[in-house]
Amino acid sequence: MSTFKQGKVLLIGRPNVGKSTFLNNLIGQKVAITSPKPQTTRFPIKALYEDERGKIIFVDTPGIFSQRGTPAAGWSLSQNINQSSLKEINDEVNLVIYMIDHTRRRDFEEAKVIGIVRKINKPKILVINKVDLQEKTYLPQYKFLEDEIPLVFQISALKKLHIKPLIQKVFDLLPEVPTNNDESKKNTTDEMENKAGYPLLNMDSKTFIAELIREKVFIMMGQEIPYTTTAIVDDIKEKGKQIIVIKARILTTNTRHKKMLIGAAGRKIKEIGSYARKEIALATGKIVYLDLIVETDPHWQEVYYG
């Protein structure tokens, strides 16, 4: 009887180490939003990687970060992100990938993640990301980790360098499942399906689209907009087989940020909406009409993430 490998792999690391980029490039489609800003992912995201060797369900936790120095305006949100990350760690996983960025100093954020990783009683792989960047490195600060985690891989998630050996090792460490175990296969597939037509995601369609919109805000607003902005999708309607009509809002905490998001003569919000609409259309293969507005809600963090 032939066998294949199947299991769950937890991705963990401090903000902006490249977990989302790794996941997106590995799976081959957008499964986690990415931006130059840390702490971009707010939801644990599950994505399915499958080939002839078996199936890997990757759980991409929101970046675990210390609450030290967190401004009051973002306090409840930061608490929820940490709780969400810790919940994923306590779920049943078969393997942990701990990702670090060698171009950044080891600091209190990293120390917190290391402490959590040490508490997980699962096989671990240490992944050193961004090896395509060599002009600045703090790799000696992380050398001690190789004594604790002997399986070490150096990759570039952005350039897709050295990914294949890492994935092979993941398959080596996952449990075997008989290939005639149709019920096991069905359960895995059912777990990853959703109504939106994005079979590799555990998120529903509204969450997926809202995250795409929020990504565009992060990327296009630069340093102007802090972490007091989110996107909410209120309605999705299909008109026929080829048209999707979406109503969505960008929420921010004060009027000044609302004006910045709208821009002179509404140009900025039109630009954000245009980029989001194009990516949604690409993901769905349909014509997309996106009705996007900006609202001020000082309490959105408590309402939607409290």
Measure the CA–CA gap between 56 and 48, rounded to whole angstroms.
6
pTM: 0.62
- Residues 76, 196, 194, 198, Cα dihedral to 10°: -100
Q: Position of tokens 């120390």?
A: 111
Q: Position of tokens 């959590």?
A: 116
Q: How many alpha carbons lie under 13 Å from residue 201 in its C-beta half-sphere?
A: 22
H or E segment to which residue 154 belongs: strand 152-154
Question: What's the DSSP call for residue 264?
Answer: G
Q: Could you tell me the residue ranges of all domains in the chain? A: 3-192, 205-305
CATH, domain range 3-192: 3.40.50.300
Measure the CA–CA gap between 260 and 174, rounded to whole angstroms.
48
Q: Which residues are annotated as a binding site?
A: 13-20, 60-64, 129-132
Side by side, which strands form the sheet with 229-239?
Answer: 229-239, 243-252, 287-296
Decide the pairing of beta strands 152-154 and 124-129.
parallel
**48-57 b/e with 16+ CB inside 10 Å = b?**
bbbeebbbbb
**Long-range contacts of the stretch 294-297 (C-beta < 8 A, 24+):** 294/249, 294/250, 294/251, 294/252, 294/258, 294/261, 294/262, 294/269, 295/249, 295/250, 295/251, 295/252, 295/258, 296/251, 296/252, 296/253, 296/254, 296/255, 296/257, 296/258, 297/251, 297/252, 297/253
Q: Which residues are annotated as a binding site for GTP?
A: 13-20, 60-64, 129-132
Question: Which pLDDT does position 209 carry in this prediction?
Answer: 83
Read off the tokens for 292: 């996007």
Q: Which residues pair with 3 in a beta bridge?
A: 178
Q: Which CATH architecture does the domain made up of 205-305 adopt?
A: 2-Layer Sandwich (3.30)
Tens digit of pLDDT per residue, the chain (306 long)? 567 898 888 888 887 888 888 888 887 766 555 555 555 555 566 777 888 888 888 887 655 544 443 333 333 444 555 566 566 566 678 999 999 999 999 988 888 888 888 888 889 999 999 999 988 899 999 999 999 999 999 999 999 999 999 999 999 999 998 766 555 454 544 444 433 333 344 445 777 788 888 878 887 886 666 567 888 889 888 888 888 899 999 999 888 889 989 989 999 999 999 988 888 887 777 888 999 999 998 888 777 655
